[in-house]
Amino acid sequence: MKTDDLIRALAADARPVRSFRSTLALALVVGVVAAACVFALRLSPRPHLLTQLVEWRLAFKFAVTLTLAASAVVLALRLSQPGAPVGRAARALLVPALLLAAGVASELVTTPASQWRHELVGRYAIYCTTLIPMIAAPALGALLLALRRGAPTHPTLAGAAAGLAAGGIGAALYALHCVDDSPLFVLAWYSIAVAVVTAVGALVGSRLLRW
Amino acid sequence: MDDRELRWAQLMRSALAGDGAAYEHLLRELAPALRMVVQRRLVRLGAPTAETEDIVQETLLAVHLKRHTWRTEDPLGPWLWTIARNKMVDHLRRRGRRVEVPVEDFAEFLPAPEERPDTGAMEVEQHLALLPQKQQAVLRSVAVEGASVAETAERMRMTPGAVRVALHRAFASLSARLREE
């Protein structure tokens, strides 16, 4: 086919299109709602959640997981827009990482070394590492479907960013229930759970997001 | 932003709002720019330039199917050259060559002599022949015979909406076939 002819046909297919950014925003809303439904089906918020939010270690869990979700969503967006700058979005991932590091440091300073092991192991590590990926799954699905409309130059990376974002969402929701408040616990078990979701995102992304 | 970038961005914004004339104007400007950059890059890689037009067409298809990923506040160039670089790397990889093509090479631009190659692009045509019959007929009618969507609809006893859907599906499956070749 001649290029001129192809162009004529492409132009005939012109119509108003929804921007990729708004598709991803919609997917984020759908994903969060679906993840919240999974949470509601299996778990309930811990007692006195709101009144305890003044406790820094509890607020800390939301700070880490929500900044992770937010920065990873923006990174996934940038990675799916050809030629868009990625650097700042990637550096924003340092915010949750530094928050986590600061929380862990503060915990190490304020608790006796004899307690570290106890805090690290926590009470419900196995629930944490299995429930977070379960809650995150619908969010990951929604984000990956939306990214299929994008044009990621590196499908694996874009899938991993979607996984990080979904992991952050799942972890933030799980934190509503979780009574293991030590930053040491978050460092050990939340990280594993988010890493699992990220790996799944990368794996699926490498297959699903080629264009 | 230089004049060309301003014009391209303006045309693309109109295209994204559904303006077919602006879109066609834009694609007719993009094609020779792409052709020249791709050809020069192939020469530099020592790859056969006979494949230029295939890569140009693949890139135009991708531009079309992914046009909503352009950020309307940006210049169009970086977006376009990134897609072109990707499509070229994909194309050469399918031909069994592993290549690294820096995107900077696509950013340069020298005005190209206007040329209309009538030969050289084979891949789209080959894959077109394998599309479902209705998609094929609609695409041929609009592309080769130059019929409008309304004329095609009348001729094929379809609604204009169904013609548009078939046309869009034809592009999507062409692109998928090219990718999985």
Residue B42 neighbours by CB under 8 Å, 6+ apart? B48, B49, B51, B52, B55, B88
- In this complex, which of A6, A8, A83 lies closest to B57 when CB atoms are compared? A6
A23 in contact with chain B, both atoms CB, cutoff 8 A: yes
Query: Does B129 lie at the interface with A, CB-CB under 8 angstroms?
Result: no
Within its chain, how far is the Cα of A65 from the centroid? Answer: 8
Extents of the domains making up chain B? 1-99, 122-181
Minimum distance, in Å, between the CA of residue A154 and any CA atom of chain B: 10
| Gap from B44 CA to chain A (nearest CA, Å) | 23
> Tokens 């192809």 label which residue?
A6
| Confidence band, pLDDT 50/70/90 cuts, at residue B123 | confident
Q: Which fold has domain B1-99?
A: Rna Polymerase Sigma Factor; Chain: A (1.10.1740)
- Contact criterion met (CB below 8 Å) for B170 and B131: yes
Q: Does pLDDT of B100 surpass 80? A: no
Measured CA to CA, the distance from residue A101 to residue A174 in angstroms comes to 20
Helix (H) or strand (E) holding A124: none
CA A200, distance to chain mean position in Å, is 12
Task: Note down the domain range covering A171.
Answer: 53-208
* The CATH number of the domain covering residues in B122-181: 1.10.10.10
In a domain, A63, yes or no: yes
Predicted local distance difference test score (pLDDT) of residue B101: 65
Q: What total of structural domains would you count in chain A?
A: 1
Judge whether A78 lies within some domain: yes
Round the average pLDDT of chain B to a whole number and report it: 87
Tens of pLDDT, residue by residue over B40-81, are 999 888 888 888 999 999 999 999 999 999 999 999 999 999
> B181 — contact with chain A (CB < 8 Å)?
no
Walk along chain A (211 residues) in steps of 10 and give the mean pLDDT of each run.
93 94 98 97 86 86 97 98 95 97 95 90 92 97 98 97 98 93 94 98 96 92
A179 within some domain: yes
Q: Which residue among A15, A17, A83 sits closest to B78, beta carbon to beta carbon? A: A83
Length of chain A: 211
> Helices B149-156 and B133-143 sit at what angle, rounded to 10 degrees?
140
Query: Rounded to whole angstroms, how far apart are CA atoms A95 and A63?
Result: 10
**pLDDT score of B105:** 61
- Length of chain B equals 181
pLDDT-based confidence at B2, cuts 50/70/90? confident
> Measuring CA to CA, how many Å separate A75 from each of A72, A112, A127, A209, B103?
5, 38, 29, 15, 20
Rounded distance, CA A37 to CA A196, Å?
21
Rounded CA Rg of chain A: 20
Q: Do domains B1-99 and B122-181 have the same CATH topology?
A: no
In this structure, is residue A15 part of a structural domain? no
How much is the pLDDT for A54? 79
Q: How confident is the model at residue B98 (pLDDT cuts 50, 70, 90)?
A: low
- CB count, 10 Å around CB of B84? 28
What pLDDT, on a 0 to 100 scale, did the predictor assign at position B45? 86
C-alpha of B85 from chain center: 13
d(CA B41, CA B35): 10
Distance from B27 to chain A by nearest Cα, in Å?
Answer: 6
Nearest to A9 among B67, B71, B142 (CB): B142
The full DSSP string for A47-70 is TTHHHHTTSHHHHHHHHHHHHHHH
| Residue A190 forms part of a structural domain | yes
* Position A22 in a domain: no
Q: Is the pLDDT of residue B117 over 60?
A: no
